[in-house]
Amino acid sequence: MKLTVNGEAHEVAATTLAELLAALDYEGDWLATAVNSDLVHKAHRAEFQLSDGDWIEILSPMQGG
């Protein structure tokens, strides 16, 4: 399945968002995820089914003014 993760193209075997995070070595409870501009709560990642062409954003805390 072809996906875009944080602006970069990926081809992955993962079928759920949780599997994708694990496959790409994202871990930790400080991450927020969105698929196609909709928030996917941490608790829903394991059941969230990805589709070919999905656009995924994975964000974490950083400095801000």
Partner 1 sequence: MFELFGTPLSSRLLLGTAQYPSPAILADAVKASGTSVVTVSLRREMAGGRAGEKFWSLIRSLGTRILPNTAGCHSVKEAVITAKMAREVFGTSWIKLEVIGNHDTLQPDVFGLVEAARILCEDGFAVFPYTTDDVVVAERLLAAGCKVLMPWCAPIGSALGPVNSTALRSMRGHFPGIPLIVDAGLGRPSHAVTVMELGFDAVLLNTAVAKAADPVGMARAFGKAVDAGREAFGSGMLEPREVAVPSTPTFGRAVFS
Binding stretches for partner 1 (CB under 8 A): 5-7, 24-26, 28, 30-34, 37-39, 41-42, 57-65
Q: How near is the Cβ of 46 to partner 1 at its closest, in Å?
A: 15
- Least separation in angstroms between CB 51 and partner 1: 18
Burial 7-44 (b: 16+ CB within 10 A, else e): eeeeeeebeebbbbbeebeeeeeeeebebeeeebeeee
| Min dist. Cβ of residue 16 to partner 1 (A) | 17
